[in-house]
Amino acid sequence: MINGSFFIFCIVWILYGIAGRSGIMLVPKKCRGYVWTEDWKRSRGTAYLLLGVPWLLFGLVCRVLSLDLGRGVTCVILLVLAAPSFIHGYVIDRRFKRLREKD
């Protein structure tokens, strides 16, 4: 069920997350030039890691154990695994939106 392009996406998310945690990330114009921009990059990098790492591990477990869970079950599991990333992304979006409005 889980193919090679899934692993490529996971690796890209993990690499972009590591780059974000290191401070190397594309920043939208609305977030550039503030004192908190570096914190924004690190927070976004964490969100990408929270998405890529669990999905990669799930894909590896499915591949090693030769699991074929079906499309519906796999989608539900991937959504559950993505929940921490979505929640973290929502929280940091609200936090930095308030900071942007202050400045």
pLDDT in tens, the chain (103 residues): 577 888 999 999 999 999 999 989 888 888 888 999 999 999 999 999 999 999 999 999 988 998 888 889 999 999 999 999 999 999 999 999 999 888 7
Instruction: Report the 10 Å Cβ neighbour count for 38.
Output: 12
Ramachandran angles phi, psi of 28, nearest 5°: -65, 155
Question: Residue 102: its pLDDT value, please?
Answer: 85
Q: How far apart are CA 99 and CA 85, in angstroms?
A: 21
Could you tell me the pTM of the whole model? Answer: 0.88
